[in-house]
């Protein structure tokens, strides 16, 4: 699959990650987005040998959307610091598999302490007293969707916009499940069945960072995936919900 580039300059390379592709090499040995980005820089910028590419954040493998890399060590270091400091602004769109348990409520702030079980690669809500617990904060917006005909029957989706204030592992997946509407395809957190392409319905639609050298705002947007369950999606945040 050809790399989809959103922005490229001397210090930054921003691309669209398709669902199912790992951001960085893992135990599967499959080609990663990082591998593709390095090869793109080597080819397009005519950099000999192993072109530098700096990993500064990640998306889960089943998730799609914007990923930014540092194309120089300076770019990578400064972008990484933005993510560590929480100044990078992230917007995600998602499709929940059922109506919210919150009823007619259409927005809110979800705060919880999370603990990750690394062996199971699963996160659970816990108390702040448990060793290793980390506070997660997510601003969310929701809109009830019309009945959706799927490959296995009808369901009533919830359309989500998430604006995370922290960057905890699986944070938005747990947020959706805690609101009573696990993301489509997210078997790990309560969805009843997998999506045909093994993705989960979560998309990193927008990332806002400061350019590492000019310090000007850099707004990076990825269009919605082409999968059929996204076709009726309405962004609840765009209507002031």
Predicted confidence (pLDDT) per residue in 104-153, tens digit: 679 999 999 999 999 999 999 999 999 999 999 999 999 998 888 776 67
* 54 belongs to a structural domain: yes
In a domain, 82, yes or no: yes
> Does residue 185 lie in a domain region?
yes
Q: Which residue bears the tokens 């259409």?
A: 106
**DSSP SS3 for 69:** strand
Of 70-84, 147-161, 193-207, 221-235, the range with the lowest mean pLDDT is 147-161
Report phi then psi at 57, rounded to 5: -160, 175
Domain residues for the domain of 31 are: 4-235
Q: Is residue 240 part of a domain?
A: no
Read off the pTM: 0.94
**For residue 60, how many other CB atoms are within 10 A of its CB?**
21
- What's the rounded Cα separation, in Å, for the pair 63 and 113? 23
Using pLDDT thresholds of 50, 70 and 90, give the confidence band for residue 159: very high
Q: What angle do CA 238, 205, 169 make, to 5 degrees?
A: 115
Asked whether residue 241 is domain-assigned, the answer is: no
Number of structural domains the chain divides into:
1
CATH number of the domain within which 166 lies: 3.30.2350.10
């Amino acid at each position: 699959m050809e790399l989809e580039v959103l922005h490229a300059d001397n210090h930054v390379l921003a691309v669209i990650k398709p669902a199912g592709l790992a951001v960085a090499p893992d135990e599967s040995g499959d080609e990663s987005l990082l591998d593709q980005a390095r090869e793109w820089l080597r080819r397009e910028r005519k950099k000999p040998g192993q072109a530098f590419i700096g990993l500064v954040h990640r998306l889960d493998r089943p998730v799609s959307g914007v990923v930014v890399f540092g194309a120089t060590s300076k770019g990578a270091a400064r972008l990484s610091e933005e993510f560590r400091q929480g100044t990078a602004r992230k917007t995600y769109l998602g499709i929940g598999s059922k109506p919210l348990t919150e009823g007619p409520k259409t927005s809110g702030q979800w705060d919880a302490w999370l603990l990750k079980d690394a062996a199971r690669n699963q996160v659970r809500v816990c108390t702040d007293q448990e060793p290793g617990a980390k506070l997660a904060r997510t601003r969310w917006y929701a809109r009830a969707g019309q009945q959706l005909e799927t490959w296995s029957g009808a369901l009533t989706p919830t359309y989500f916009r998430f604006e995370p204030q922290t960057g905890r592992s699986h944070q938005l997946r747990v947020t959706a499940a805690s609101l009573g509407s696990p993301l489509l395809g997210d078997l790990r957190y309560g969805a009843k069945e997998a999506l045909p392409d093994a993705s989960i319905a979560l998309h990193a639609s927008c990332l806002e960072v400061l350019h590492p050298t000019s310090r000007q705002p850099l707004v990076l947007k990825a269009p919605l995936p082409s999968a059929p369950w996204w076709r009726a999606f309405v962004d609840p945040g765009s209507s002031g919900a």
